[in-house]
Amino acid sequence: MTDLQGKVAIVGGSSDGIGYAIARRLAGDGADVAVVARRSEKLEAAAARIREETGRRVFTVAADIRKAEDCGRIIDDSLKHFGRLDILINNDGAPPLGDIADFDDAAWDKAWQQNFMSVVRLCRGAVPAMRAAGGGRIVNITALSALQPVPKFGLSVATWAGVIGYAKTLSLEIAADNITVNTICPGRIATGRLAKVFGAEGIGAAAEDGEAEKLKKVVPLGRIGEPREIAALVAMLVSADGGYITGATMHVDGGRRTNLI
């Protein structure tokens, strides 16, 4: 467990999946958390579970990060509620799959707003508050495909690659303010996204028709990752123990990425 007592975090996409696991972990480690997602009812249910399990203050912000005004509201409402901001976790779903040459301008614009501009806007809003707090931590959640592209994932690959470049540049510009910026690229993690991509109702259902076994075979560790394992790395990066790590891009994939660097 890391010690996040007195810290305030904003966690995107936190009604389920990786975002929920991160919010739950940070609250369990002592942080107060603003949870963000589009669907209010599901978000409120997630917040209630985190409050009950951790005893921490959990504030909900129902918002669409594809909209500039909602990005501003996420930062403003969280600051009004908690009075400070120490941690920003940029996380959300992903754009549709398909042949990259077939996507029209509207599809590209939606992907750009969701994956890239949301990060730019939320970081722009968060950095002044982190400076006022004496430092901060920013972590972006992307995907392994941003480092090791695969067919049909072009909208995500192109826009998240931009996030990696943005994050590296930002890390250099705000390091003197004691603000770190890092990016995590998860591989195959047991979430609704994985089930959607591979046409299964879930990992349990996939196991019945052998699909889960196919997914596991391409992972050197021989299994699908768990959201809590991404959350554990996030918890370290945003803690005092992660204070000397910035500008890094990390793949958490059970060994799937084959490059040396």
Chain segment 215-257, per-residue pLDDT in tens: 788 899 999 999 999 999 999 999 999 999 999 999 999 999 9
Residues 135 and 211 in one domain: no
Give the domain range for residue 178: 8-189+227-252
* Domains identified in the chain, total number: 2
Residues 16 and 57 in one domain: yes
Residues 199 and 181 in one domain: no
Q: Whole-angstrom Cα distance, residue 21 to residue 14?
A: 8
Residues 126 and 209 in one domain: no
Residues 101 and 215 in one domain: no
Q: Higher-confidence residue: 66 or 2?
A: 66
Q: What is the pLDDT of residues 106-163, one digit of tens each?
A: 999 999 999 999 999 999 999 999 999 999 999 999 999 999 999 999 999 999 999 9
Q: Whole-angstrom Cα distance, residue 102 to residue 218?
A: 28
218-234 in b/e form (b: 16+ CB < 10 A) is ebeeeebbebebbbbbb
Q: Judge contact between 46 and 52, C-beta under 8 A.
A: no
Residues 201 and 232 in one domain: no
Q: Judge contact between 133 and 85, C-beta under 8 A.
A: yes
Token pair of 168 as six digits: 């590296």
Q: Judge contact between 58 and 50, C-beta under 8 A.
A: yes
Query: In the structure, what pLDDT confidence band is assigned to residue 214 with cuts at 50, 70 and 90?
Result: confident
Residues 204 and 76 in one domain: no
Residues 108 and 42 in one domain: yes
Q: Whole-angstrom Cα distance, residue 26 to residue 252?
A: 19
Query: In the structure, what pLDDT confidence band is assigned to residue 200 with cuts at 50, 70 and 90?
Result: very low
Residues 203 and 233 in one domain: no
Tokens 């730019």, located at residue: 120
